[in-house]
Amino acid sequence: ANTSCKDFTDLLEEFGFAIRDCGSHGHKVASHPAIQMKIEDSANYNCGHNPGKNIKIGYVKKFVRITNAYENILRAYLK
């Protein structure tokens, strides 16, 4: 969780996520073409809390849960 927002965004894009800005300053929404995410997955994060600082650990944990839940789909997509 010791990563900048840019590095975190780059990593998600390497996994195939598309990242888009969503209205408020720093708020981002991630989607993936191979995953029909449930609303409770809420694939979003915010880079505006501490601009220029590391992303909050809660966002990293959220995406760890998402990637674990959809691991097989992501592995097949990345082949």
The string of pLDDT tens digits covering residues 6-20 is 899 999 999 899 998
Tens-place pLDDT, residues 47-59:
876 666 788 888 8
- Measured CA to CA, the distance from residue 52 to residue 38 in angstroms comes to 31
| CA atoms of 42 and 73, how far apart (whole Å) | 18
> What is the pTM (predicted TM-score) of this model?
0.80
Q: DSSP E strands: which ranges in 1-79? A: 18-21, 27-31, 44-46
- Kindly state the helix (H) or strand (E) to which residue 69 belongs, with its residue range: helix 57-69
